Amino acid sequence: MDYLSIIDKKRLGKELSKSEITFFFTGYMENKIEDYQVSSMLMAICINGMTFEETLALTDVMLSSGRKLDTSKISGIMVDKHSTGGVGDKTSLIIGPIMSALGCKMGKLSGRGLGITGGTIDKLESIPGFRVALSIEEFIDNVNKIGFAECEQTPEFTPLDKKLYELRSVSGTVSSIPLIASSIMSKKLAVGAEYILIDLKVGEGALIDNKNDAVELAGTMIEIGKSYNKTVIPILTNMSRPLGDSIGNALEVIEAMDILKGKTGILRDLCIELASNLYSRCKKINLDNAKKEVIRVLDSGKAYDKFIEFTKAQGGNIEAIETAPFMIPVKSDKDGTLKDISAAKIGTLATNLGGGRKKKGERINYGVGIVINKHIGDRINKQDILAYLYQNDETDHSAEALEAFSIVK
């Protein structure tokens, strides 16, 4: 058995055995294979796909590359939530505190940005002092004391997935159902929650841009969950438009806090829907009663209090969050009605401003981004401000920004 023959076998569209998958990816974990060779394998998987057995084997080797959380040390019902990623998606920053305020225990392993979709870890790192690297002992302690902890994959948690995740982001191998499913589920299984909510984004601003693929991904994750005796709850949500008004790491943290403090809109409604579904399943109550409880902890400020407790416990200082120094208005060049806002174009713009990565290991600017000032259906007059660009300089990006807004007569 050798690495090149395994790459060639997958290139030809043949099914790999569990031993071949284990041998190849363990070799990468042990630095016996170069990044460019693994990129070839990832591209072959993207093009030719994987059977469920292959996907399950890949999930298992990712999971086995690190330690697993001993959930017996956590008191209460352990739940988890994951979003497949989308432009402006900051739902995890809102739902974690909600579930904690409801008395559930949520521990999350999260990732950095993939393609034009922002990563929760990047958002949390925009909070000065916030520690995204926790030991397993710290993670368990925070979950028990606060009810919510969130950290990146460390050498202890799914380290193989961490390496592959970074490589996928810069090698054009993000949008693959087997790779997405195995990456998500390895992290979820490492934490060991009994109930796992998957917010499966669909649309041009997501990793999955069509409903058929989304349904296939949902089914794959449900079956992986069953293989490990876990309940997976997938919910398909639209990601054709940016989620919320803010896109960019620090800006999204600020908006998440605004939602927890009472801001209304589509983002709050979605978070209520997701949290209600998870709470309903884990507490075995009907959805209407679960929704009432979710709204109660939001309206009372208890969820916001949990967010503050969570960030302080991991060293974060929300008072010190900074946005980029230049706020550049994007003005409409025509009259009409705002018909659409392209999530893909907004996400690309945020990356071009410095808020996302174009190559592995690239540093990002946490304070840059876009704040949308108008909404779908609004009447627009020429020179109205459609959005504000937060930048580190005064470079004119208005033409690129205008392309994201579809205004019709």
The pLDDT of residue 353 is: 94
Residues of the chain falling short of pLDDT 50: none
Residue 332 to residues 214, 349, 390: CA-CA distances in angstroms?
35, 17, 17
Three-class SS of residue 176? Answer: coil
**Is position 68 annotated as part of the catalytic site?**
no
Q: Does 168 participate in catalysis according to the annotation?
A: yes
Which single residue is written with the structure tokens 């990623």?
85
Q: Which of 40, 60, 65, 82 is catalytic?
A: 82
Beta-carbon contacts of 335 under 8 Å, excluding residues fewer than 6 positions away, are 380, 381, 382, 407, 409
- Let me know if 82 is a catalytic residue: yes
| pLDDT attached to residue 115 | 65
Active-site entry in 10, 81, 123, 187: 187
The pLDDT value given to residue 119 = 85
Position 136 scores a pLDDT of 85
Residue tagged active-site, from 83, 100, 183, 280 = 183
> Domain 3-49 class?
mainly alpha
Residue 114: what pLDDT? 65
* Catalytic-residue membership of 396: no
* Cα first-last separation, the chain: 64
301: left (phi over 0), alpha (psi -120 to 50) or beta: left
Q: Which residue(s) pair with 386 in the sheet?
A: none
Q: What is the pLDDT of residue 152?
A: 86
Q: Is 375 a catalytic residue?
A: no
Residue 310 CA: distances (Å) to CA of 167, 228, 268, 391 = 30, 29, 20, 29
Tens digits of residue pLDDT in 6-43: 999 999 999 999 999 999 999 999 999 999 999 999 99
Burial of 227 (0-12, 13-18, 19+ CB in 10 A): middle
The rounded distance, in Å, linking the Cα atoms of 391 and 326 is 5
Residue in 10, 162, 168, 188 annotated catalytic: 168
Instruction: Please state, in angstroms and rounded to a whole number, the distance separating the CA atoms of residues 296 and 289.
Output: 11
Structure tokens given for 280:
């309903």
Q: What pLDDT was estimated at residue 185? A: 95
For residue 337 the two structure tokens come to 């009605």
Q: Give the active site residue among 161, 199, 245, 384.
A: 161
CATH 3.90.1170.30 fits domain 323-408? yes
Q: Specify whether domain 71-319 bears CATH 3.40.1030.10.
A: yes
pLDDT number for residue 69:
85
- Which sequence spans correspond to the domains of the chain? 3-49, 71-319, 323-408
Total-model pTM: 0.87
Rg (CA), the chain: 21
